[in-house]
Amino acid sequence: MNATQPRLRALACSGFVALLLLALLSGQWWLGDLPGRMQFDARLAPPGVDHWLGTDALGRELWARTLAGLGLSFQVGFLAALLGSAIALGLALLATLSPRLDALVRLLIDTLLSVPHLILLLLIAFALGGGLQAVVIAVATTHWPGLARVLRAELFQLRTAPYIDISRALGKSRGFILLHHFLPHALPHCLVGALLLFPHAILHEAALTFLGVGLSPSQPAIGILLADAMRYLSGGYWWLGVFPGLGLLLMVLSIERIAHGLRRAL
Amino acid sequence: MALDVRLALATLRRLLRLGLILLCVASVSFGLMMASPVDPVDAYLGPLVAQVSPEQRELIASRWGFDDPAPVQFGRWLQQLASGNLGVSHVYNQPVGEVISQRFTRSIALLGSAWLLSLLLGFTLGVVAGAKERSALDKLISAYAYLTASTPTFWLALLGVLLFSVYLGWAPACCAGPVGVPSQDIHLATRLHHLVLPVATLTLLGTASITLHTRARMVALMRSDIARHAFAQGARRADIAWRHGVRHASLPALTLALASLGELFGGSILIEQVFAYPGLGQATVEAGLRSDVPLLLGIALFTTLFVSIGNTLADSLYHMVDPRMRRPSKPRQTTP
């Protein structure tokens, strides 16, 4: 029982994410304009049979908005994790080429790691003026250093491996070794790293949007929904605050579990 | 004797590195500000922007050198910085240095108590969980840690307000004191009452990583030969955890807590925003939203210094506390 349980759990998580992904992807067309449609006779309706998760101050369905918001989060997280791990991989490979480049990359990593993430995110989002593109770039540029550090250490360890020495002795160029030995070794680590980046990227996107410097208020992002909920909190409209956050938590948690499972398998 | 010299040299090298990193942060953040689409004259004027004619705008631009090439402006800014002048914040109509010091003194109560509490709580939970792997308590604590590690900070704060302020009415939902009372008249107990909820939220989120880290160390110890030997001698599990485990796991926990000051500060930005607590985090958000460039730059530099000092302390702690690290025969590795 004990041996099968982690696998079962991983399967459940994968199933949940797959289901979520399917809902989010298909949601683009079957939700239509539902996240934005106003019902004037059902403003701030509590959760019930007619309105599954209740409605907001303009009478918009909360379940549709939450689903659309999770879709946006997923999109931003995916793009940012992809971009971030590409930067990390590129710089880690670059660092193996010469000690001087390595010093430069290490300085860059140390610089970015010594600014609090959220401050750097604010600065970058401010510089790029907000919006989807700015958020993706900001999240990607703040999240690569951790992964780059791991990949760099991994590659430096590999540099002393016998088969690299043999390859060098056979007269292979540095570029050949980079492409045919280092890159294939780093790719699986990079993939798991990207998956581990994913939840952080989603959480930071939501935080940035919540503070008002991320995605535009017209989009039904989770951060926007929760910032709206803040305004109606003292009136006791609990469903506005609880459900979008719960959706985000479930998504982040299941992706995190999958990533951990994969890392253990590696 | 030789040890002292080596320690001094290492400290010097760390300080130089810290200076270099601060310079890098200064240039990166200045570059970002230069790249931003916000017009510097608008940012300088703030709310007065409607009262100024185009000729006056030009006058402002030439007085402050907004038309100069970016490197010239950067040089001038660095010069000012070296003399301790951070500029004037137009959101608060005060010198940036004053804003930061005022706000930080308010934030430090929040940050400090949350830091200490999360260290203590996280360490205790980690030791208890790791002492007996796969026990019911371990599963419970691990599940709690994994859950809080993926909870959005501001959502937890929001739930806290909803439950404890709106429904139960136990704690105030806003600010550092009652509205309409001058800050010098607020009683200490009132201040503490306003701090309870923000500190609790920040603490809950900070414990997760320390708990997991400590637990991993404890589990490793309990599987080691040291523990097996002690078990063979008839020591009880609690004894081993107390005598060997706490010593084994305390230094890494402290180091991790020192190294995660950046996370803590990020959390405090979100929590101060939810609770409308007038600290440094709220000032950061205000500066970002209302394009107060000098304040934003000042805060970026200040928090970098704050986080770097934490990192440096974490690095040096090992050398100071653990005598094994000072053994001169240990060769320097390529990875830091």
pLDDT digit string, tens, across residues B262-278: 889 999 999 999 988 88
Interface of B with A in 171-210 (CB under 8 A): 173
Contact A126 B36 (CB under 8 A): yes
Among A81, A94, A95, A108, CA closest to A196: A81
Query: What is the per-residue pLDDT for B294?
Result: 86
Among A236, A224, A261, A222, CA closest to A24: A222
CB-nearest to B152 from A114, A129, A249 is A249
Q: Is the pLDDT of residue A83 over 90?
A: yes
**What dotted CATH number matches A4-30+53-265?**
1.10.3720.10
Is some CB atom of chain A closer than 8 A to the CB atom of B336? yes
Size of interface A-B (CB pairs under 8 A): 149
In our burial notation (b when 16+ CB lie closer than 10 A, e otherwise), range A137-148 reads bbbbbbbbbbbb
Q: Is the pLDDT of residue A87 over 90?
A: yes
Please give the mean pLDDT across all residues of chain A: 85
Contact A233 B334 (CB under 8 A): no
Q: Give CA–CA dist B270/A206, Å, rounded.
A: 11
* Nearest-CA distance B271 → chain A (Å): 11
* Nearest-CA distance A255 → chain B (Å): 10
**What is B95-325's CATH number, 3.40.50.620, 1.10.760.10, 3.40.50.720, 1.10.3720.10?**
1.10.3720.10
Q: Is the pLDDT of residue A246 over 90?
A: yes
Backbone φ and ψ for A213, nearest 5 degrees, come out as -115, 5
Query: What is the per-residue pLDDT for B330?
Result: 45
Is some CB atom of chain A closer than 8 A to the CB atom of B311? yes
Q: Are B295 and B99 in contact (CB under 8 A)?
A: yes
Contact B154 A226 (CB under 8 A): yes
- Check residue B136 and report its DSSP letter: H
Contact B288 A125 (CB under 8 A): yes
Is some CB atom of chain A closer than 8 A to the CB atom of B216? no
Tokens 């929590």 belong to which residue? B271
Please give the mean pLDDT across all residues of chain B: 85
Q: Give CA–CA dist A200/A257, Å, rounded.
A: 13
**Which whole number is the average pLDDT over A211-239?**
86
**Which whole number is the average pLDDT over B6-27?**
86
CB-nearest to A126 from B25, B288, B311 is B288
Tokens 């199933």 belong to which residue? A15
Q: Is the pLDDT of residue B143 over 80?
A: yes
Is some CB atom of chain B closer than 8 A to the CB atom of A154? no
Residue of B nearest to A206 (CA): B152
Range in A29-33, A100-104, B264-268 with the lowest mean pLDDT:
A29-33
Percent helix / strand / coil, chain B, rounded to 5: 80, 0, 20
Greater confidence (A6 vs A85) lies with A85
**In chain B, what residues touch A114 (CB-CB under 8 Å)?**
21, 25, 262, 304, 307-308, 311
Is some CB atom of chain B closer than 8 A to the CB atom of A119? yes
Q: Give CA–CA dist A125/B148, Å, rounded.
A: 26
Range in A163-172, B6-15, B139-148, B200-209 with the lowest mean pLDDT:
B6-15
CB-nearest to B28 from A111, A113, A128 is A111
* Nearest-CA distance B124 → chain A (Å): 24
**Which whole number is the average pLDDT over B140-162?**
90
Is some CB atom of chain B closer than 8 A to the CB atom of A10? no
- pLDDT tier, B332 (very low <50, low <70, confident <90, very high otherwise): very low
**Which whole number is the average pLDDT over A2-21?**
71
Query: What is the per-residue pLDDT for A105?
Result: 92
Q: Is the pLDDT of residue B176 over 90?
A: no
Query: What is the per-residue pLDDT for A2?
Result: 45
Tokens 């401050």 belong to which residue? A119
Query: What is the per-residue pLDDT for B327?
Result: 56
Greater confidence (B186 vs A90) lies with A90
Amino acid at B29: S
How far, in Å, are A82, B255, B311, B324 from residue B317 at the CA level?
Answer: 36, 7, 10, 12
Interface test with A, best of B147, B151, B158 (most A CBs within 10 A): B158
Tokens 């460039």 belong to which residue? B293
Among B182, B210, B194, B188, CA closest to B272: B194
- pLDDT tier, B284 (very low <50, low <70, confident <90, very high otherwise): very high
**Which whole number is the average pLDDT over B222-243?**
90
* Nearest-CA distance B35 → chain A (Å): 6
Instruction: Enter the pTM of the model.
Output: 0.86
The length of chain B, given as a count of residues: 336
Is some CB atom of chain A closer than 8 A to the CB atom of B333? no
Query: What is the per-residue pLDDT for B280?
Result: 92
CB-nearest to A115 from B25, B155, B284 is B25
**What percent of chain B is predicted at pLDDT more than 90?**
29
* Nearest-CA distance A139 → chain B (Å): 14
Residue of B nearest to A213 (CA): B289
Backbone φ and ψ for A251, nearest 5 degrees, come out as -65, -50
Amino acid at B172: P
**In chain A, what residues touch B159 (CB-CB under 8 Å)?**
241-242, 245
Q: Is the pLDDT of residue B308 over 80?
A: yes
- pLDDT tier, B134 (very low <50, low <70, confident <90, very high otherwise): confident
Tokens 């935080």 belong to which residue? A207
Contact A245 B158 (CB under 8 A): yes
Residue of A nearest to B172 (CA): A234
Contact B266 A210 (CB under 8 A): no
Q: Is the pLDDT of residue A80 over 90?
A: yes
Is some CB atom of chain B closer than 8 A to the CB atom of A122? yes
Residue of A nearest to B308 (CA): A114
Q: Give CA–CA dist A112/B256, Å, rounded.
A: 18
Backbone φ and ψ for B90, nearest 5 degrees, come out as -85, -15
Q: pLDDT tens digits for B56-110?
A: 888 888 877 777 788 888 888 888 888 888 888 878 888 999 999 999 998 998 9
Among B289, B208, B273, B152, CA closest to A202: B152
Range in A179-193, B57-71, B123-137 with the lowest mean pLDDT:
B57-71
Degrees, nearest 5: CA angle A208-A214-A219: 120
Q: Are A120 and A179 in contact (CB under 8 A)?
A: no
Q: CA dihedral in degrees (B256, A85, A261, B206; nearest 10)?
A: 30
Contact A206 B152 (CB under 8 A): yes
Q: Give CA–CA dist A19/A37, Å, rounded.
A: 25
- pLDDT tier, B3 (very low <50, low <70, confident <90, very high otherwise): low
- pLDDT tier, B2 (very low <50, low <70, confident <90, very high otherwise): low
**What percent of chain A is predicted at pLDDT more than 70?**
97
Q: Is the pLDDT of residue B334 over 50?
A: no
Interface test with B, best of A1, A105, A123 (most B CBs within 10 A): A123
**Which whole number is the average pLDDT over A53-78?**
86
Cα first-last separation, chain B: 26
Range in A70-79, B85-94, B217-226, B312-321 with the lowest mean pLDDT:
B312-321
Residue of A nearest to B266 (CA): A118
Strands B88-89 vs B94-95: parallel, antiparallel or unpaired = antiparallel
